[in-house]
Amino acid sequence: MQQVDVLIIGGGAAGLFCGARAAQRGRRVHVIDHSKKPAEKIRISGGGRCNFTNLETEPARFLSENPHFAKSALARYTPWDFCDLMAKHELTWHEKTLGQLFCDQKSGAVIQMLLDELEAAGGQLSLETSASDIERVDDGFEVRTSNGSVHCQSLVIATGGLSIPKIGATSFAYDVARQFGHDIIDTRPALVPMTFTDAYRDAFSSLSGVSVPVEAQAQSGPGFVENVLFTHRGLSGPSVLQISSYWHTGEVIAFDLLPGIDPLDWLRSAKASAPKQTLAQLFATVFPSRFADYLVWELGFERTTRLGALSNQQIDTLAQTLNAWELRPAGTEGWRTAEVTAGGVATDALSSRTMESKLQPGLFFIGECVDVTGWLGGYNFQWAWASAAAAAEVA
Ligand SMILES: Cc1cc2nc3c(=O)[nH]c(=O)nc-3n(C[C@H](O)[C@H](O)[C@H](O)COP(=O)(O)OP(=O)(O)OC[C@H]3O[C@@H](n4cnc5c(N)ncnc54)[C@H](O)[C@@H]3O)c2cc1C
């Protein structure tokens, strides 16, 4: 049986980083992953350029049953700490928008950096290795893997969430958590496009590719001022991905189609100054023309309807709809395209300082498998780095 200090199951973002940091403390570390290649989600992230952190990281940008849980780890390992590591490896980055930092080199360079850190510190990585039975023993854990059994003092579970099963996502972390008495907060696909049926599906499909700046809002959670993108199946784009994390089946979502503009003033003054202008022409001054035409139809008017023909009551109703266009999605595209998993290992039985189980000393859960879900824009990697660093201090 192989003897190590720390066995990490899952060689993704959190697992590789935790392995490197624990090994730097002088711990004998072995990271195993069942895939052929490590950290495939880093590879496909950020359109191949890995949005590796966000400068606006703060606990309020993470969803969890316990909104305080992420505070300690995020405060102790910041976006700048990861930037320092990138700089040490001569990697460069740029801010795209809203504090989102992307690697100038390809995502593969970030993976290589993590692998180099692990190797330099003497950590071992075994790919195409899966774990089956985990047994608690007096001085740690015995784990049966497809390459033999391993005894470890500390066992770190870093197998991520359920999104994108075709690149190796499994429910392993939740199964281990349940085995050792932890609760799981219901998991659901998050940062995921939303789907519609019937007339809306047909309409949105015909608008496929059109993008409109909006403020999107689910029934709970903050509003997000970003673009909505029409797709063949429904709606996507950053604003919709963001609110998908807060949305529950059956709920309505609302779009302010003119964020920052008072639609009542806008409609009234347009009617007063250009009564012969059609509603479609007015809408085309602020929306892409395909969406402008669709909106006129959706609101029950003709393409030829002139502003002068609108009654005050019609203008009031129009303004209300422009302010809060309400839609009820049929669902989401699910695990196939979700960027992350909301929910996961309940935080009440984990130490927020170290990610260690309060029920089973020596057992740790880090990264996406924990019930901490970041907004779109680099927050999920920052959670992976910060939770990994927290565990690596003591594992
Ligand atoms: C398309 C896409 C784009 C994304 N872009 C971004 C982005 O730009 N910025 C951002 O912050 N976040 C992004 N994310 C989210 C981010 O990738 C994850 O939040 C992050 O990778 C989670 O890190 P993790 O280490 O917890 O899990 P993962 O990175 O998923 O790693 C888990 C590892 O465990 C292995 N594993 C799973 N089950 C087992 C098992 N049973 N036995 C052994 N090994 C197992 C997997 O093979 C994998 O290597 C994106 C996600 C997707 C899907």
Q: Are residues 177 and 58 in the same domain?
A: yes
**Which ligand 1 atom is at minimum distance from the Cα of 10?**
34
One domain, residues 92 and 199: no
Ligand 1 atom closest to 50 (CA): 8
Q: How far, CA to CA in Å, does 358 sit from each of 37, 181, 232, 288?
A: 32, 10, 46, 54
- Choice from 45, 52, 167 to test ligand 1 binding pocket (greatest atom count within 8 A of CB): 45
pLDDT at 198: 86
Q: Are residues 254 and 370 in the same domain?
A: no
The pLDDT, as a whole number, for residue 376 is: 98
Q: Among 293, 317, 332, which residue terminates a domain?
A: 332
Query: What separation in Å is there between the alpha carbon of 7 and the centre of ligand 1?
Result: 18
What would the pLDDT profile of 80-99 be if each residue is shown by its tens digit?
999 999 999 999 999 999 99
Phi, psi of 67 (to 5 degrees): -65, -15
200 with 328, same domain: the answer is yes
**N-terminal to C-terminal alpha carbon distance within the chain:** 20
Picking from 332, 349, 380, the residue at the C-terminal end of a domain is: 332
Q: Residue holding tokens 């390809």?
A: 106
Helix (H) or strand (E) holding 194, with range, is strand 194-195
How many CA atoms lie within 13 Å of 358's alpha carbon, on the beta-carbon side? 11
Q: Tokens standing for 32?
A: 């195993």
How many domains, the chain? Answer: 2
User: pTM of whole model > 0.95?
Assistant: yes
Domain closes at, from 301, 332, 363? 332
Domain that holds residue 200: 193-332
pLDDT digits (tens, 9 = 90+) for 21-33: 999 999 999 999 9
340 lines ligand 1 (CB under 6 A): yes
d(CA 216, CA 224): 5
pLDDT per residue over 327-347, tens digit each?
999 999 999 999 999 999 999
Whether 184 and 210 map to the same domain: the answer is no
The reply to whether ligand 1 has any atom less than 6 angstroms from the CB of 241 is: no
CATH of the domain at 102: 3.50.50.60
Segments of the chain scoring below 70 in pLDDT = none
CA distance 256 to 228: 11
Q: Position of tokens 């029409």?
A: 230
pLDDT of residue 214: 98
- What does the angle CA 319 – CA 325 – CA 327 come to, to the nearest 5 degrees? 160
208-249 tens-digit pLDDT: 999 999 999 999 999 999 999 999 999 999 999 999 999 999
Residues 47 and 146 grouped into a single domain: yes
DSSP state of 34: S
Distance 210 CA to ligand 1 centre (A): 30
- One-letter amino acid at 303 equals R
For the stretch 188-203, pLDDT in tens is: 999 999 999 989 999 9
Residues 177, 365: contact at Cβ < 8 Å? yes
Distance CA 345, CA 365 (A): 8
Ligand 1: atom nearest CA of 131 is 42
| CB 131 less than 6 A from any atom of ligand 1 | yes
Q: Is 161 helix (H, G, I), strand (E, B) or coil?
A: coil
200 and 183 belong to one structural domain: no
Q: Is 348 in the same domain as 316?
A: no
Kindly report the backbone phi and psi dihedral angles of residue 29, in degrees, each rounded to the nearest multiple of 5, phi listed first.
-120, 135
What CATH code is carried by the domain that includes residue 242? 2.40.30.10
Whether residue 222 sits in one domain with residue 149: no
**Helix count (H) and strand count (E) of the chain?**
13, 21
